[in-house]
Structure 1
Amino acid sequence: MPAPRATTLRDVAEAAGVSIKTVSNVVNDHPHVRPEMRERVLAVIERLDYRPQAIGRQLRHGRTGMLALAVPQMDMPYFAELACNLVAAARSRGLTVLVEQTDGLAEREREVAAGFPVRIVDGLVFSPLNLPDAELAQRRDRTPVVLVGEHGRDTGIDRVSNDSVEIGRLATAHLLDCGRRRIGMIGTKLRSPHLVATDRHAGYRRALDDAGVPADPALLSPTDGWGREEGERSTDLLLEQAPDVDAVFAPNDVMALGALRSLRRHGRRVPDDVAVVGVDDIAEASYAAPTLSTVAIDRAFIAETALDLLIRRIGGDDSPPRTAIAPHRLVVRESTCG
């Protein structure tokens, strides 16, 4: 059975007994339409369930009311929850968000940075992982963009970031405050440069130095990914390299959940034998067994601030680029101090 034909502008005009131009003026909220005529046309629009082609109309006016969010992986809770925050913030402003997944691949990130084939979005919130800053800085697409995350420091583009060095220091200092001294860090990157891993490791080292605890290479366990499986494997390796480890700092909560699984398999009690702390405060952290201590990053702040910056740029703001740092805080649960 064929789908019913969509109501057209002509259908509305014929039913209301007016010209197509009059219906168009009502749809586009033209000021020079008599009130009684406007009410008549709107009544027919409602009765026929006419849905104007908003995108085409808005494109003619230079705006679509749509934004894009490009992130590496939607199956990573941090990015999924960030997307929820951004969508909610945009909806409160009458905007719609299209979500694009790049898989953290430089080629996909390059395509996003180059712009969409058709101007369907007014602006882009972008979290690149592997696209060099030099390429981001030279992007020719004129669509306003705001970066989120540690990358893009030297691009001359608005950015909302985290202080990952301080986050790493805070997490490690908490483990030291719990009396731990053989503190391992999982998730240090094995190959490609990764600013988040580099910065959080720098914070880890700073906390050890501040406490006068010597750094031991055996307490570092590298990996190429930051998922649950990588967290489990990285902890397996850490236990093999340093059997006397008494704490684990994971650079995100997902890896920390993998670490908890590894420790259970090896018969290590958390936190009695080994304390564990992560980063992000994803929803799952408060339901883990034991519940996971973590450094919470204010994703609502990231979403709201990125959106505010983007809307200003869309509106023509040509002030110098701005960088905002999201607040963070330590959340102590069962996995560290019981």
Structure 2
Amino acid sequence: MRVGLKDVAERAGVSIKTVSNVVNDRPHVTPALRARVRVAIEELGYRPNLAARHLRKGRTGIIALAVPELGNPYFAELAGAVVDAAAAHDLTVLLDHTRGDREQEILVSQGFRADLIDGLILSPLELETEDLRARTDDVPLVLLGERVFDLPYDHIAIDNVAAARTAVRHLLDRGRSRIACLGARTDSANRPAQLRLVGWREELTAAGVPAPDDLVVPVGGWDRDEGARAMARLLDSGACPDAVFAYNDLVAIGAMRVLHERGLRVPDDVAVVGFDDLQEGRFGAVTLTTVSPDKQAIARLAVASLLRSLTGGAESGGQQLTPGFRLVERESTLGRGDGVRPG
């Protein structure tokens, strides 16, 4: 039979109210009583009825996370961080995969699962401002990523321009001067590929180093295959870079494979920096220097934003929240034997 508050109260010799106060971590319980109740909870194996607790608050206890690419390890790692952050508040995460499709992103943002969830964390790729402005669903929404929307929803994203500049500065400090940018996009000023391109150009310009267009290589996607194709095109063009700043780690890993196939050594001939700090980059034949966004902070901020909205906090809605990042220096720029230096 299920153990209830009454059973714990009888075992501890206290009132049900005292047990409730301990379970919900409320004040006004003496340390001695709190310890006695916790011993009884452990002995009886009591577990709170979270469903009943959420129902009393008029909630489901479920939030949704919608990401564009589950096959991309970055989003898989981010999803794990969101699950952990939500669990700290007794919340369950429902995962949605939009594939970066605008119609699917609209469907998700318009609340087609509104009866199941208390809030939505959405990382959009193709959603436009007018899509969100037309939103009628009142489920709290938090946006992730670098798409900028002038709307009353909290938005969480690292400073991509500053992160790109940090990566390029590292390459310059290692004596590199022909630094290619792999994975550029120029179709929207507010998308991460464009922002990282801006950071690449700004840092080179600040250092008095040329930023020629022949070192900017656009891609059709941001996976290993695209990185390999972009690197091959760059080398075939005769541009001769001595370093590469890649849009993400997957593009960087694809590029490093082509460099190896062409007989070029990393980092002796071409140094490489990625972005995202995926686990995969830590275990290659040459470990990857990379920009590491604070995924745990992104997750904590997103869950906290939803909770503020659910409780009607005065600060909820429309905040631009900027978690940190760091540069993790590894063999793809330092060379073998130099170890790992987190920036």
Q: How does the TM-score come out when normalised to structure 2?
A: 0.80
1:321 to 2:318 alignment? yes
Describe how 1:63-102 pairs up with structure 2 within 5 A: 63-102=59-98
Q: Cα distance 1:118–1:175, how it changes in 2: closer, same or farther (>3 A)?
A: closer
**Contact kept? 2:249, 2:278, Cα under 8 Å:** yes
Quote how far apart the aligned CAs of 1:134 are.
2.5
Match of residue 32 from structure 2: none
Picking from 133, 145, 151, the partner of 2:147 is: 151
Deviations 1:212-270 (A, max 9, x none): 11121111111110011101111111111234211111011111111111111111100
Give, in angstroms, the shift of residue 283 of structure 1: 1.0
Look up the match of 1:265: 261
Aligned equivalent of 1:293: 289
1:189 deviates by 2.4
Please, what is the CA RMSD of the aligned residues? 2.9
Aligned equivalents of 2:284 and 2:122: distance in 1?
Answer: 30
Gaps of 5+ in 2: 7-14, 17-48, 336-343
Cα offset, 1:121, TM superposition? 0.3
Q: Which has the larger radius of gyration?
A: 1
Structure 2 counterpart SS, 1:212: coil
Local SS of the residue matching 1:205:
helix
CA separation in 2, counterparts of 1:265 and 1:82?
32
Hey, what's the Cα distance between the residues in 1 that align with 2:177 and 2:242?
7
**Cα distance change of structure 1 residues 321 and 193 upon mapping to structure 2, 3 Å threshold:** closer
Structure 2: distance between partners of 1:105 and 1:99:
16
| Equivalent residue letter for 2:219 | T
Alpha-carbon distance between aligned partners in 2 of 1:233 and 1:191, rounded to the nearest angstrom? 20
2:198 — aligned with what?
202
Opposite residue 182 of structure 1, the aligned amino acid is: R
**CA 1:118 to 1:249, structure 2 compared with 1: closer, same or farther past 3 Å?**
closer
Identity rate of aligned residues, in percent? 45
1:1-338 correspondence to structure 2 within 5 Å? 54=51, 58=54, 62-189=58-185, 195-319=191-315, 320-338=317-335
Give the aligned residue type for 2:206: D
Deviation at 1:200, TM superposition (A): 0.1
- 8 Å contact 1:253–1:282 — kept in the other structure? yes
Which amino acid in the other structure matches residue 303 of structure 2?
L
Structure 1 runs (4+) deviating above 6 angstroms are: none
* Alpha-carbon distance change, 118 to 125 in structure 1, aligned in 2, over 3 angstroms: closer
Going from structure 1 to structure 2, the CA distance change for 1:309 and 1:192 (only over 3 Å counts) comes to closer
Q: Which amino acid aligns with 1:323?
A: Q
Find the counterpart in structure 1 of residue 27 from structure 2. Answer: none
* SS of residue in 2 equivalent to 1:296: strand
With over 3 angstroms needed to count, the CA separation of the structure-2 counterparts of 1:275 and 1:120, relative to structure 1, is same
Distance in 2 (CA, whole Å) between partners of 1:337 and 1:90 is: 38
Per-residue Cα deviation, 1:143-187 (whole angstroms, up to 9, x for no partner): 001111111432221011110011111111111111111111111
Q: Unaligned 5+ residue runs, structure 1?
A: 1-11, 13-25, 27-33, 36-51
Task: State the Cα distance separating 1:60 from its structure 2 match.
Answer: 7.8
Q: Counterparts of 1:253 and 1:73 in 2: how far apart (Å)?
A: 15
**Structure 1-normalised TM-score?**
0.81
